Structure 1
């Protein structure tokens, strides 16, 4: 469907209090992020009735308008054209509202700013890894055999896909180093170098760290012997997040401190080498070992919680994840997922995220089925499809939160699906598309239980929304 983006942008500007009330604007996958001079000048009631607008709210010092994937870019372009605003990055606009948030909100913004730019690489790698796992899964398609056993000619394809799938995870510290350095104001190329250093082939591969510590298979921990005075573990950090995240922050602080004091004539010679040497030693000697053990403690704590009380763990996560999406706190779970994959070989968090996304989509689909309003039906159907493929904001803000009861129905379905997955210890081997294609990233032997969980998360919210719509909106009738 074609839309008049120029007209929509004009209506938005008026509802936002005029062009002079907008200081900066940027957008993410689904939302306009706006730094406003005075939020009290916004006419939310009128704004939420504008074509394509699926909801709006104020969070983290920014006013956010939910548009939806694809359309948000075109509305943003039209808005910039009419307001003469300079192009701003998401980080620029978030920084505008940073002083208005508390410490936790600022921490969440850091995780969001670092991980959102590299998310496409992680999703692609996760999907490829899932396909690879299916090809190599015994009994998945042929009894007591893998597809590789039955069709040896697939071996070359399997190896090629495996190479492409593992690249993002093997060199994950380099990706995080680049994005984190950019976020913290350091040199992006030095962030990449620092990340690559932490996975250098001369270091013991992180996957073998446990064997070396336990002395298994004749392995032992190698060390850098520094002048016979002290030793540094010669260990890599493949697939790990916390070491490079903190190291990139320290690197950026050191680099900015040096740039402010070293004369311009010798900056190129002095600043990069000094920054890398100091940060490299700190990363391998202090930051890496400390954050590795911190990450292990965090993952062990989560695993223990879900082992001892899977029902409580699944219930809490299933109910709270969608509200966390509203606040933006859900970005923190990406780091947790990657840490679990690195230390445990799989994550039980990401499959439950899929449950929440599917549940929001099904609640919106229930509104579509019950509604008589053509505009509402159109918005509900497109929002449901979007949620089924991992983008839930249009469904949540445009439909479910507007009526409230579909949102509660979605939380119920999400909680039940998450409890089921938690009880059956369903895990994903990688991060993929958080919706209907999500089964591709699930460890093959867990796929049947995951599919049942998907059915729970789809059917329960849809049925509850249909029932509640008759009792709450207009007893005995479809939603008007």
Structure 2
């Protein structure tokens, strides 16, 4: 394989070296910031032997090369274009110039939530294991594992504690990530988030009951009466508060000398942000969050089939735009408000659907390069990572992508009508059932069967018809 020659072809297909702003790579892909993505010759690019696919996301153009080979291609790419080696953060910053205001807002949410996903997904998986141990009727009639084997009860209790920690202290995780994204101190962000779930505050999950009983304690100062309420599981309060914290800290840092920085900036930043949060930000965003959640739940309660059809069918296009990240905040809000999310189960099924369509292409095509890419990307999608299947295979041929949307929409209707929920965001794809509430397993498995079969059959049949016509 002539890596140098093929890399030159890649550069040419990207619109020439003048079109490349910055470049880095990950384990399998070149990650590029281009001046003008419209100059990319997609057909020429994907006809190059070393290229296994390409796609654009969050202002970055990514070229799928493959593990090991990507290092060699990147070395030649840097030499040919003269852009110099860059870090992933540098490429991200360069790529932001290609985004419009809405895309930048979506990317900001993605930058905040993606770093904390490992903790959330792990919590979801552990909750699934806890469900297996504590759910009645799974292994024994009307009894759970810990009812029959009482020696497992304490183990289940420990697993539940470990699983719940990420959600109990979710504002702390978001505070850290949001403060980092907004340019503030990560440590102060953590303290701010933990402050919102301090044990001295009324737990947010008991607020409604305490309000009915008239048992909500308050602070009284300067003529104000502020309820002493925590924000467990809430997203909006800590997001807005972290933004304010970062801006206050930046304002003070520019005006306080280094000699007094430690004594003045952190205490005043935290004090001011804390007061503003409890007086205004918390109550206002808490009300907004509950209003939006109630509206969302109301729509799905009133017309569940329509909700399942729209979200189940259109989730994959949301991934293309990057807007799917905005629904992470909705998932967290649903979990905090109603004890589970009915959106995430549809996401898991959408992942499987994309994998099934890609797998059908693997069996239908005679192109060996496409076979290899379709097989690996379908397995990846079945395990929850859909981008290789979507961008490398399904969108390239279009009909597999639409077949996956159809299967996902049908399954979305069925599981939404049945009220399937997950207590947390968990592992995507086929292992997702571990993170689904055990009482919904039968209907979720039905949905899983639909997204395995429907996209596969539609894609395979259309592929065969097209191949006969081309022959």
1:252 and 2:250 are equivalent in the alignment: no
Looking at structure 1, the residues matched to 27 and 203 of structure 2 have their Cα atoms a distance apart, in angstroms, of 35
- 1:87-141 alpha-carbon deviations (Å, 9 max, x no partner): 4344x43333334433221111011100111111110111001111121001111
**Which residue is 2:151 aligned to?**
153
* Distance apart, 1:474 and its partner CA: 1.9
Match of 2:194 among 189, 193, 196: 196
Match of 1:111 among 105, 109, 112: 109
**Which residue is 1:418 aligned to?**
412
Looking at structure 2, the residues matched to 160 and 8 of structure 1 have their Cα atoms a distance apart, in angstroms, of 54
1:34 and 2:32 are equivalent in the alignment: yes
Looking at structure 1, the residues matched to 154 and 5 of structure 2 have their Cα atoms a distance apart, in angstroms, of 53
Residues 5 and 269 of structure 1: CA distance in aligned 2, closer, same or farther (over 3 Å): farther
Q: Matched residue of 2:459: which SS?
A: helix
**Which residue is 1:453 aligned to?**
447
**Which residue is 1:223 aligned to?**
218
Residues 171 and 27 of structure 1: CA distance in aligned 2, closer, same or farther (over 3 Å): farther
**Which residue is 2:210 aligned to?**
212
Residues 89 and 370 of structure 1: CA distance in aligned 2, closer, same or farther (over 3 Å): closer
Looking at structure 2, the residues matched to 73 and 298 of structure 1 have their Cα atoms a distance apart, in angstroms, of 44
The Cα RMSD (Å) is: 2.6
Residues 402 and 258 of structure 1: CA distance in aligned 2, closer, same or farther (over 3 Å): same
* Distance apart, 1:469 and its partner CA: 1.5
Q: Matched residue of 2:137: which SS?
A: coil
Match of 1:443 among 437, 462, 465: 437
* Distance apart, 1:372 and its partner CA: 1.8
| Paired residues of 1:9 and 1:78 also in contact (CA < 8 A) | no
* Distance apart, 1:395 and its partner CA: 0.8
- 1:204-226 alpha-carbon deviations (Å, 9 max, x no partner): 112211211122xxx71111222
1:348 and 2:342 are equivalent in the alignment: yes
* Distance apart, 1:402 and its partner CA: 1.4
Match of 1:389 among 363, 383, 392: 383
Q: Matched residue of 1:199: which SS?
A: coil
- 1:230-270 alpha-carbon deviations (Å, 9 max, x no partner): 22221111111111111101111111111112222212211
| Paired residues of 2:24 and 2:74 also in contact (CA < 8 A) | no
- 1:353-399 alpha-carbon deviations (Å, 9 max, x no partner): 11211111101111112122221111111111000011111111111
Looking at structure 1, the residues matched to 201 and 270 of structure 2 have their Cα atoms a distance apart, in angstroms, of 17
User: What is the TM-score with the length of structure 2 in the denominator?
Assistant: 0.92
Residues 174 and 51 of structure 1: CA distance in aligned 2, closer, same or farther (over 3 Å): farther
| Paired residues of 2:146 and 2:152 also in contact (CA < 8 A) | yes
Looking at structure 2, the residues matched to 463 and 51 of structure 1 have their Cα atoms a distance apart, in angstroms, of 29
| Paired residues of 2:384 and 2:427 also in contact (CA < 8 A) | yes
Looking at structure 1, the residues matched to 68 and 414 of structure 2 have their Cα atoms a distance apart, in angstroms, of 36
**Which residue is 2:179 aligned to?**
181
**Which residue is 2:54 aligned to?**
56
Q: Which runs of 5+ in 2 are unaligned?
A: none
Number of residue equivalences: 469
Looking at structure 1, the residues matched to 50 and 321 of structure 2 have their Cα atoms a distance apart, in angstroms, of 21
* Distance apart, 1:324 and its partner CA: 0.9
Residues 383 and 299 of structure 1: CA distance in aligned 2, closer, same or farther (over 3 Å): same
Q: Matched residue of 2:400: which SS?
A: helix
* Distance apart, 1:44 and its partner CA: 2.9
The range that moved more, 443-452 or 152-161, is: 152-161
